[in-house]
A and B are shown apart, each in its own frame.
Chain A
């Protein structure tokens, strides 16, 4: 695992020094992060990289995962979809199953750290313990809740009101809540296997091993097989440009242990791709970080045509690799991309096709977008900035702090 000093060539010594000052003010505090999966998905990735660095800074940080069965994960998937505004039917049993898992986990967790940092809805009900421990609780929402299904939001709010603060990734996700809300964008780790610099021969070796031909420009969407990422829409957009441009589309995704729909969506995507040799669909395990890194670096254009998106870390990854990115103008994506400056924002399949054709035919413009995007990420979306924001968030829990 990299140490803090390893980040100096990328972000500069001053940024690291600021982190040390902030951490000094929090010395002795113990933080417990809780989410629902140890592998797969952006949350697990960030926690994996961030916690050792927080500990190195002297802020003792631990990570635990709630345990639930198949029934629980199918309810939480429905909750996830409902929070994204896709209406779901909830039965009384769904709520019961959710609450049973909260109770079962409460029996096995001490939850007596100074700060309990809950990620996403799955462990939200653990806050019941707050009354007994008298510690501080934060709820971090990683999903796009700009237009949630009211029924489920009201259900979550029952728990949310007991938290000290809620954290969102974009101002447009904020809700009317009785507790303060904080804006913190996620981040990527520039030294992780998924984002570190790769030598050209490392890239070629991986691409060859995966059997991806590079005789044509490669257009790639990296994401879980999830309808909200619109993989079928990507195929439709690509088909629109095939008669004008010679390129190859690659849809590559892993799966997360808390996403039971992935296999079904994968089959839908395979069916939409048909037997077109220029449309490749690749399923990789969630640990295939080096492979994703090499694929992104070998790509000419990166797509992320999401219909809903909490933040879109695959976009951050693409931008960091200096690639031109075309992405849906939803959720936290516009925080990362200024249209026609650091990438392209689209609203439709037609728009995606139009810009894809443009970028493939205008490499100089595409290159400029990539360069600007990389610098924007360096300034705002690297792990060190994220750690700084979390340290500030922890400091803001001081009851003596007054806001003006």
Chain B
């Protein structure tokens, strides 16, 4: 656990991003899943359920930058390490491997000029597009706001709709659940 903490402090931001976001694309069917790899590893490998639960409970959506999210995870680990002088070691072969990721953004053929077109596009775009505009968008300026909410508010004046989308916790939904929810906000 102390090694996990040590490396987490210094790894590139894309590592923090990978280990707190890749489950969204990889485990569509298994939702709800532990929302980050740190929680999963601590529970399933180190058998430390208490700290695993605390790590899983970190509310990712509250943090508008990866640095802030990293600090929240580090603080949780520090609290635990201060209380626990004796630490368990991961069995050989089950070490935590920090991974980093690269983002590729490629334009699609979909363009929306009004709410009707926006809904039509939303029905057709791939989950990678949703992922990019909702999760990745929140981590780009303006921080904490998805690309969808930002566009709807600034370009269509749809403040209430933008607010509703921003109030969603997308981390607790499958990507298709998220798609349906946003379409529902517009069409209902």
Contacts and interface: CB of A to CB of B under 8 A. Distances in A.
B93 A14 contact: no
Nearest to A18: B126
Contact of B126 (A15, A378, A392): A15
B126 A379 contact: no
B6 interface: no
B114 interface: no
Given A392-B104, A395-B104, 17 more contacts: A13-B124, A14-B125, A14-B127, A21-B106, A25-B106, A147-B93, A171-B97, A172-B94, A183-B99, A341-B30, A376-B29, A379-B26, A379-B27, A379-B29, A380-B26, A401-B102, A403-B100
Contacts of A17: 108, 126
B147 to A, nearest CB: 18
A403 B29 contact: no
24 contacts: A13-B124, A14-B125, A14-B126, A14-B127, A22-B104, A24-B106, A146-B93, A147-B93, A172-B94, A172-B95, A372-B29, A375-B29, A376-B27, A379-B26, A379-B28, A379-B29, A392-B104, A395-B104, A396-B102, A396-B104, A403-B100, A403-B102, A404-B12, A404-B14
Interface of A: 13-15, 17-18, 21-22, 24-25, 146-147, 171-172, 174, 183, 338, 341, 372, 375-376, 378-380, 392, 395-396, 401, 403-404
Contacts of A18: 126, 128
Kindly state the interface size class of chain B when it binds its partner. Answer: 20 to 34
Q: Describe B's contact surface by its main secondary structure.
A: loop
Nearest to B94: A172
Contacts of B9: none
Contact of B97 (A14, A174, A395, A403): A174
Nearest to A24: B106
A376 B97 contact: no
Contacts of A392: 104
Nearest to B124: A14
B48 interface: no
A60 B157 CA distance: 47
B13 interface: yes
9 A-B pairs with the lowest CB-CB distances in the bound complex, closest first: A171-B97, A14-B126, A375-B29, A18-B126, A404-B14, A21-B106, A379-B28, A403-B102, A404-B12
A368 to B, nearest CB: 13
Interface in B108-166: 108, 124-128
A404 B13 contact: yes
Contacts of B124: 13-14
Contact of A172 (B97, B107, B127): B97
Contacts of B99: 171, 183
Nearest to B95: A172
A75 B14 CA distance: 40
Contacts of A404: 12-14, 100
A14 B12 CA distance: 31
Nearest to B98: A171
Interface in B1-49: 12-14, 26-30
Contacts of A146: 93
Interface in B23-80: 26-30
Contacts of A25: 106
A338 B27 CA distance: 11
Nearest to A380: B26
B107 to A, nearest CB: 8
B57 to A, nearest CB: 21
A338 B26 CA distance: 13
Contacts of A380: 26
A331 to B, nearest CB: 9
Nearest to B29: A375
Contacts of A14: 124-127
A25 to B, nearest CB: 6
Contacts of A24: 106
B30 A376 contact: yes
